[in-house]
Structure 1
Amino acid sequence: MEFNDLKIFQTVATHGSISKAALELNYVQSNVTARIKLLEKELRTPLFYRHKRGMILNPEGKRLLEHARQILSGMDEMIRTFEDTSNPSGVLEIGIVETVNALPDILSAYYNKYPQVELSLKAGVTDRLLQDVIDMKLDGAFVSGPIRHPLIEQVEVIQEKLVLVTKGETFSIEEITKRPLLLYNKGCGYRERLESWMKSEGIVPKQIMEFGTFGTIIGSVAAGIGITIIPESSITDLVVSGTVFCHNVPEPYHEITTIFIRRKDSYITSTLQCFMDEIVARTRLEHEPLPESR
């Protein structure tokens, strides 16, 4: 068995397709097919269920995928240990929830210091990004916290105030039973806070409409379709212009903490370490007291 066979296998498993895997790896399809068949022959077991539209891992394939991820991740870490720590480069894959207000400043400072690093950003909800960090699909992620997981290390980035957002200036809690809630998909930290509040008040929403992007949610609120919950800092300009209006969320549901997470047992590359240093620097700056006037 060759090391590259595991990489081919993992790519096919990810895409569920020989053709898509071949395209990503820049191989001919026949070569990918041959390597998969050879791998199955060496292991003396089929690894996929094959059907007209692609391939799905069978139980043995799923078992091999876990081993393949560990081996490939270990190889990547070994290579990274020899990187030039004074001049980070390569790809850094970071997950984000879309309303991280501190992110532009962190990215700007990092880009200016380390222009050779290619930052790849993946937007998603907290639960999905957490799983991607655990599975080592991401180097780290900005999510809603705190997170309690034995494999996760976390750094607090910023605390923000959650607000309900509507098109109208006035609001009463009964409106939640009359108008749709416009929320991110399940696994969003903001949504969990709102659902906890509604449960404590015995409120059953009229309807929940799920969206994948901040722009779609806030645009739909501005159009009068429904109500949402998001950090107040993410809509300051829209509130000033009168496009939407904010309404308070009661304690203990009104605060949300954004944290940066990484898998604690993974090797910290110089690229990731420098990124985390920028996060810590930003956090310290946020908490520094203002100079006294004289």
Structure 2
Amino acid sequence: MDIKDLAIFKTVASFGNITKAAEHLNYAQSNVTARINQLEHELEVDLFVRNSRGVVLTNSFVDGPIKNNELVHEICIDDELVLITGQQLPDPRKLELICKNDLIVVSQKCIYKRKFEQWVQFENIQLPRSIQVGTWDGIFASVELGLGFSITIRSLAEKYSKSNSFFIYELPKAYNQNPLVFLRRKDRIMTKIMIMWCVILHQAARLIFAVMLR
């Protein structure tokens, strides 16, 4: 595996388009395609899903549990992603219609936003405009007013549904998983310090999650 291949992969993933990545790298498009194909062959896994708009990362590079015999993964928190809309918006099961509205997010780098965009790109639909609100209180209030829709975890949506009026819809199984995973090497001896560190990480994750649901 060549480090240049990884750099090409990173650029293609960032642009979501081989042509644009080739222009950015000042490479021929055929060269970029060949290097990606070579990398996929070496790793024995598909790295991208190709469609008419470009490429989308496969689950091989999506956050979540990693299948590797040399690693042990422990799920700290596991919650389902859902889509929420106000009464004024169309049925989100008609994805093309819902994407004509604004996606309201807590951050432009939010993992929930990225998961939803992967689904939209796979369906070859134009991405919705995203608006950053910054707080969940603001997001749920905006959704209730019909200013757009949002993606969040089910437990948080159900908490806010007690005081806000909006609809909760399931996402396809391929895009609704959002586990927080702790990874460690299987061959490493678990010392007392490492065990304590793992316990602290688990407790911290659950504490942060509990604060979100207050």
Of Structure 1 and Structure 2, the greater strand share is in 1
Larger Rg: 1
Q: Greater RCO between the two (CA within 8 Å, min separation 6)?
A: 2
